[in-house]
Amino acid sequence: GAVVSQHPSWVICKSGTSVKIECRSLDFQATTMFWYRQFPKQSLMLMATSNEGSKATYEQGVEKDKFLINHASLTLSTLTVTSAHPEDSSFYICSATAGQGNTYEQYFGPGTRLTVT
């Protein structure tokens, strides 16, 4: 099956710094990538949808200037958390889809755990 990787798997940063998380589709070209956030014992909440070469579409309540998303190629999307604060500590998960097809063809990465101290 299709594989999506994320890097790093775990990161600790100090309050006020920025952190970049990478999401890669390893064996397919991802026309659309999604970024989710999951707090402990809660469900995945979609943050934004990005299409290759276009600006990301952010969900209501998600600050686009704080969570910068770049989808520069068909195999790579990045999420940068700028000026991170402890409340940004969460599990960030990306998913990718090859475009035309059914909803279930959205492949999830293993997640990145961000801890802001």
CB of 35 to other proteins, least distance (A): 12
When asked if residue 106 is in the footprint of other proteins (CB under 8 A), the reply is yes
When asked if residue 99 is in the footprint of other proteins (CB under 8 A), the reply is yes
User: How far is the C-alpha of 48 from the C-alpha of 27, rounded, in Å?
Assistant: 23
Contacts of 16 (CB under 8 A, 6+ apart): 83, 84, 85
Q: Which of 21, 25, 37, 109 binds other proteins (CB under 8 A)?
A: 109
CB of 106 to other proteins, least distance (A): 6
Specify which residues 46 forms β-bridges with: 36
When asked if residue 41 is in the footprint of other proteins (CB under 8 A), the reply is yes
Burial of 97 (0-12, 13-18, 19+ CB in 10 A): buried
User: How far is the C-alpha of 34 from the C-alpha of 82, rounded, in Å?
Assistant: 18
When asked if residue 74 is in the footprint of other proteins (CB under 8 A), the reply is no
Applying CB under 8 A, the residues found at the interface with other proteins are 4, 6, 31-32, 34, 41-46, 49, 91, 93, 97-106, 108-111, 113
